[in-house]
Amino acid sequence: MAPTSIAVLGGGLTGLSAAFYLTRRFPTARIAVYNAEARFGGWVRSDRVRVSYTNHDGKPENADVVLEAGPRTLRPNARSVLELIHLLNLSSTLLTVPKTSHAARNRFLYIPEYGGLCRLPSAPLDLFTLAGPSRHNIGRLLLSSVAREPFKRRNKRFGLDDESVDDFMTRRFGSEWSRIFASSLVHGIYAADARRLSLRSAFPSLWEAEERGNGSVVAGILKRSPPLTSGEGPTSYELGDLQDTMRDVSVYSFRDGIGTLTDALVRYLREHPNVDMYGGVRIMGLRINPRGKQFELITSAMETMLPTHVVSTLPLFRLHSLLTPAIRLPHLTANAYTSVTVVNLVFPRPPSSSSPLHPEGFGYLVPRPPDGYFNDSNRLGILGCVFDSSSTANQDSSDAVVKMTVMLGGPYASCSLPQVNVSDLLSELSTHLGRTLPEPVLVKVRHNQHCIPLYSVGHLQRMEELRHVLASEPWVGRMEVIGAGVEGVSVGDCVEAGRNAGRFWS
């Protein structure tokens, strides 16, 4: 049955993208988007704020800066996001970071036992220049493990169909390599413990590379099939000239931050005659009315809505709480959700005669300490720090200020988050950066509770089972469950999932 009325639960990036594409796929259906918060956008949150500072001549000045509490830069490989930018006419608001820039080339890890801030190689040749004689040398560790991996015998256990990121990396590259590189990567994307995260769900391309390389991940990566262009593949994307614009781009954002995307979606949906946007309306319950082939949604406004089809983009544990035992869906509470505290810091830029606040580059990540998360070696639970001014300074009205963002928490659950002691944080960052940081002109702390799903081992299989149940009675395919909790946490994954919503409804 073709949908006549569709309810989209959740107005974050996935829900907004789903509603956008549903208006195109079902132009005559009525679409309602319900979002618990009055503000749409979910974890995407960009704020332009005014900061006051004293310039080098001792005069008071103001600057407007964009601060992100959620995603801050995007990679151009997600074609679904590029398509949205094209369709929403946002190209003129893009800010791109070229692959040749310092922000693209210089990424660091902070590893105290390797001497502090270590630059990661940005090109194969760097592996040789960064590799030094010391045993505790990051280039040497990278080079030796990567060079040896293709000669290591195939060591995937027969019948294994998923494992943790740490187990996989340890198996192929060694435990120290995994602790340093894999844990840092996982901190940067998932704010999670690589020993708990499913490799197949989080990094499926590495799983496939091992298969393609007959047991060697490196060989599999080198054999990689050429990327699809916009006109190829199961569904082509409308990209305008964005594919060209993005050719030499490492990452990008917008003049007013990533919120530009969600704000434009909200504007489009509010203006669409078939769409009703319910901000500040929480869904409290969901039932199925089999006789009428309808759902019953109970809202916080104590109304009952009767859509024929539903797209849930809610965090899975929230969807679980809406369902009565008679219609409970499997696996909705199988994954924990991690919490992250984001601290935006704005400093006055030091005069050119003194040393900069940080090296030119994207920022740094902090790997899992050798003695794990539950001790004092990283007592504030710092996961990483982004040097925002290196990549997105053009968002701000003045270059007299420097902005940085620190991420804390995740697997360091024992840290007393969300209470961040700012002077302790500044002192810790000063140690990392090897210089005393000045007094910031602005500190903004935001605690994002349960914001990123931690796909535990077996997640793909569980989601397959969930889809199977949704395809059978009493759901019969009329409800889809998508969003960060299901098939990818990145902005690209969320938009792609929204783009596919309702694909099998006819």
Ligand X SMILES: Cc1cc2nc3c(=O)[nH]c(=O)nc-3n(C[C@H](O)[C@H](O)[C@H](O)COP(=O)(O)OP(=O)(O)OC[C@H]3O[C@@H](n4cnc5c(N)ncnc54)[C@H](O)[C@@H]3O)c2cc1C
Least Cβ distance, residue 73 to ligand X (angstroms): 6
Does 405 participate in binding ligand X (rule CB under 6 A)?
no
Compute the least distance from the CB of residue 476 to ligand X, in Å: 23
For residue 484, state whether it binds ligand X (rule: CB under 6 A).
yes
Tell me the window of 28-36, 197-205, 232-240, 416-424 that interacts with ligand X (CB under 6 A). 28-36
In the complex with ligand X, the residue whose CB is nearer, 11 or 307, is 11
- What is the separation, in whole angstroms, between the first and last Cα of the chain? 6
Query: Of 243, 274, 430, 490, which lies in the binding site for ligand X, with binding defined by CB under 6 A?
Result: 490
Q: In this complex, which beta carbon is closest to ligand X, that of residue 163 or of residue 493?
A: 493
**Of residues 71, 155, 502, the one with CA closest to residue 312:** 502
Strand pairing report for 107-111 and 275-279:
unpaired
Q: Which residue type does 436 have? A: T
CA distances from 491 to 43, 73, 282, 459 (A): 10, 10, 23, 19
**Which stretch of DSSP H or E encloses residue 396?**
none
Interaction of residue 262 with ligand X, rule CB under 6 A: no
CB of 460 to ligand X, least distance (A): 17
Instruction: Figure out which of the listed residues 20, 21, 26, 43 binds ligand X, where binding follows CB under 6 A.
Output: 43
Token pair 């009565």 in the structure block, residue: 324
Task: Closer to ligand X by CB, 41 or 348: give it.
Answer: 41
Identify residues 138-177 at the interface with ligand X (CB under 6 A): none
Q: Which stretch binds ligand X (CB under 6 A): 39-47, 48-56, 102-110, 409-417?
A: 39-47
* Residue range at the interface with ligand X (CB under 6 A); choices 122-130, 217-225, 238-246, 310-318: 310-318
* Residue 456 DSSP label: B
- Please answer whether residues 384 and 366 qualify as being in contact, where contact means their C-beta atoms are separated by less than 8 angstroms: yes
Kindly indicate which of the ranges 134-142, 398-406, 457-465, 489-497 contains the residues binding ligand X, using the contact rule CB under 6 A.
489-497
Check binding of 318 to ligand X (CB under 6 A): yes
Size of the site for ligand X (CB under 6 A): 36
Cβ contact 422:375 at 8 Å: no
CA separation (Å) from 186 to 14, 45, 169, 385, 451? 22, 22, 12, 14, 15
Structure tokens at 404: 């940085």
Least distance from ligand X to the Cβ atom of residue 13, Å: 4
Q: How far, in Å, CA of 4 to CA of 10, rounded?
A: 19
Residues 330-359 that bind ligand X (CB under 6 A): 340, 342
Asked if 72 touches ligand X (CB under 6 A), the answer is yes
- C-beta closer to ligand X: residue 118 or 501: 501
Contacts of 145 (CB under 8 A, 6+ apart): 173, 174, 177
State how far the Cα of 257 lies from the Cα of 236, in Å rounded to an integer: 27
Q: In the complex, what is the shortest distance from the CB of residue 370 to ligand X, in angstroms, rounded to a whole number?
A: 26
Residue 158's contacts (CB-CB under 8 Å, 6 or more residues apart) are none
Residue 247 burial (C-beta neighbours within 10 Å; 0-12, 13-18, 19+): exposed
**Position 369 contacts ligand X (CB under 6 A):** no
Extract the tokens encoding 13. Answer: 């990036």
Residue selected from 3, 5, 10, 457 as contacting ligand X according to rule CB under 6 A: 10
When asked if residue 391 is in the footprint of ligand X (CB under 6 A), the reply is no
Interface pick for ligand X out of 5, 6, 8, 11 (rule CB under 6 A): 11
CA distance 108 to 119: 4
Residues forming the site for ligand X (CB under 6 A): 9-15, 34-37, 42-44, 70-74, 282-283, 313-315, 318, 340, 342, 448, 451-452, 483-484, 489-491, 494
